[in-house]
């Protein structure tokens, strides 16, 4: 039996309809811990999205230090990455990512992440992300684990989220699809936590721990309150000066080996990427169980931190492209996020199918091209502009609305009464296509 409590009253309010999205419109979380296990404050969704586009004063200060020449030498990026890190942490580190208490700037969450077996838990709003394989984090880590995460958007990005969800009953992803996209200055910061024995991963010394209501194992539907450890922070920045994709993605890894703070400052940079290096098709730097960090000098659109005293051994992504320690070593930050669309016809990685293509082949490289901001991966769909959270939110909403509620006396559900409902099926979608964001094949067993 799932140990959870659905926020039924909030869902009923949403089902009743509202012409404008505002604070309290969307459910906060899907899994509330029993009082016998947790008696502290509950997670609240930051959803009072700006109704007017933020002005120039909201533009992040680190925009001024974007390197004019983008090199694969990470040291040319260090100041920029530190600027983004501090932008994400200011006012959030002090409150342990409780963004409503941030006294420096406002941050916001994506709605409709509460839904489904991997939905938000009620303590810190974490969603289940991916499994952790043995030896993925360190050669001493022999047991498997799981990852939980929570992402936040600055006011510039949140304005667009508010436009998409302005009518909570009829979200409109055209706001993120060409000719539109998330606007310049959008910043996304995502904190990721590992449910793993911290003693088995040397870099998790002096850990930053918090309580979370998580699944017992990655494929379990039972939940318990337990400690999870901060292991990674991802960042994404929309910047039209980046001609390859219009986005920069970066990753930080927790390293407490030589530090005693046990706080957010123990996050050290892994690297940054602004393109997928579509011409590089070899695989010799792929390193799923790392004892060292293998940096591929052939990559010109990824810059990896070469300071081994700072960065612990990490597997990176396919052939040395950027990815974090809890991410897929056969992917990259950009290769996954560029598949974000609605309807979600694309899988996130070529390995997420029965007979994946060989690495480096033409079919494989479809996931390692450079797609401009706002352009969908699959023709005939609408882009959610590198936001997998938005594509998942839309899929969650329509699954709830059309498949699991809204049945009228005549036996038809809410979506059958909307003619035509263009968002439920893309014109080129196979009839048996399952419409959802596939984060990991293991999640198939939960649905």
The model's pLDDT over 75-109, given as tens digits with 9 standing for 90+, comes to: 999 999 999 999 999 999 999 899 999 999 999 99
Q: Which residue has the higher pLDDT, 423 or 399?
A: 399
pLDDT at residue 25, rounded to an integer: 86
* pLDDT at 362 > cutoff 60: yes
The model's pLDDT over 241-256, given as tens digits with 9 standing for 90+, comes to: 999 999 999 999 999 9
Q: Which residue has the higher pLDDT, 169 or 337?
A: 337
Q: Which residue has the higher pLDDT, 419 or 56?
A: 56
* pLDDT at 270 > cutoff 80: yes
The model's pLDDT over 31-58, given as tens digits with 9 standing for 90+, comes to: 999 999 999 999 999 999 999 999 999 9
**Contact 137/193 with Cβ under 8 angstroms?**
no
* pLDDT at 212 > cutoff 60: yes
Average pLDDT on 287-306 reads 96
The model's pLDDT over 114-149, given as tens digits with 9 standing for 90+, comes to: 999 999 999 999 999 999 999 999 999 999 999 999
Please state, as a whole number, how many other Cβ atoms lie within 10 Å of the Cβ of residue 53.
Answer: 12
The model's pLDDT over 195-207, given as tens digits with 9 standing for 90+, comes to: 999 999 999 999 9
* pLDDT at 434 > cutoff 60: no
* pLDDT at 213 > cutoff 80: yes
Residues above pLDDT 70, as percent of the chain: 85
pLDDT at residue 411, rounded to an integer: 62
Confidence of residue 443 (pLDDT cuts 50, 70, 90): very low
* pLDDT at 436 > cutoff 60: no
Confidence of residue 233 (pLDDT cuts 50, 70, 90): very high
Domain ranges of the chain: 8-446
Long-range CB contacts (< 8 A, 24+ apart) of 96-103?
Answer: 96/124, 96/210, 97/124, 97/150, 97/152, 97/191, 99/46, 99/152, 100/44, 100/46
Q: Which residue has the higher pLDDT, 411 or 234?
A: 234
* pLDDT at 185 > cutoff 60: yes
Q: Is the pTM of this model over 0.85?
A: yes
Confidence of residue 402 (pLDDT cuts 50, 70, 90): confident
pLDDT at residue 409, rounded to an integer: 57
Tokens representing residue 214 in the block: 């998580």
* pLDDT at 17 > cutoff 80: no
pLDDT at residue 53, rounded to an integer: 95
pLDDT at residue 200, rounded to an integer: 97
pLDDT at residue 400, rounded to an integer: 87
pLDDT at residue 412, rounded to an integer: 65
pLDDT at residue 417, rounded to an integer: 58
């Amino acid at each position: 039996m799932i140990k959870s409590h659905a926020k039924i009253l909030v869902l009923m309010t949403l089902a009743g309809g509202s012409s404008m999205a505002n604070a309290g419109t969307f459910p906060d979380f899907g899994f509330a811990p029993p009082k016998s296990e947790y008696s502290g404050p509950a997670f609240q969704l930051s959803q009072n999205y700006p109704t007017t586009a933020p002005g120039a004063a909201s533009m992040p200060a680190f925009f001024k230090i974007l390197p004019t020449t983008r090199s694969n030498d990470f040291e040319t990026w260090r100041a920029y990455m530190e600027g983004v890190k501090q932008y994400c942490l200011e006012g959030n580190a002090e409150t342990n990512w409780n963004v409503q208490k941030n006294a420096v700037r406002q941050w916001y969450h994506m709605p409709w992440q509460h839904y489904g077996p991997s939905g938000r838990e009620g303590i810190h709003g974490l969603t289940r992300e991916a499994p952790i394989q043995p030896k993925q984090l360190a050669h001493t880590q022999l047991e498997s684990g799981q990852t939980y995460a929570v992402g936040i958007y600055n006011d510039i990005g949140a304005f667009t989220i508010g436009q998409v969800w302005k009518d909570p009953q009829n979200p409109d992803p055209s706001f993120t699809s060409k000719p539109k996209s998330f606007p310049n200055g959008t910043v996304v910061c995502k904190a990721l936590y590992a449910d793993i024995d911290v003693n088995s991963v040397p870099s998790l010394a002096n850990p930053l721990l918090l309580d979370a209501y998580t699944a017992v194992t990655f494929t379990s539907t039972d939940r318990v309150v337990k400690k999870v450890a901060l292991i990674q922070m991802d960042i994404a920045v929309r910047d039209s000066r980046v001609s390859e994709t219009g986005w920069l993605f970066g990753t930080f890894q927790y390293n407490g080996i030589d530090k005693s703070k046990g706080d957010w400052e123990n996050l050290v940079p892994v690297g940054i990427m602004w393109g997928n290096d579509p011409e590089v098709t070899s695989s010799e730097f792929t390193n799923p169980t790392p004892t060292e960090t293998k940096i591929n000098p052939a990559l010109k659109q990824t810059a990896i931190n070469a300071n081994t005293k700072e960065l612990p051994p990490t597997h990176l992504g396919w052939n040395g492209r950027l990815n974090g320690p809890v991410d897929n070593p056969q992917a990259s930050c950009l290769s996954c996020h560029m598949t974000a669309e609605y309807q979600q016809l694309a899988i996130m990685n070529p390995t997420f199918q029965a007979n994946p293509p060989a690495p480096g082949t033409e079919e494989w490289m479809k996931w390692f091209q450079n797609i401009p901001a706002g352009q969908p991966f699959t023709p005939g769909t609408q882009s959610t502009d590198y936001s997998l959270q938005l594509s998942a939110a839309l899929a969650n909403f329509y699954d709830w609305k059309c498949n699991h509620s809204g049945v009228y006396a005549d036996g038809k559900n809410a979506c059958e009464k909307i003619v035509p409902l263009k968002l439920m099926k893309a014109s080129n979608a196979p009839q048996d296509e399952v419409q959802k964001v596939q984060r990991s094949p293991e999640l198939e067993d939960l649905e």
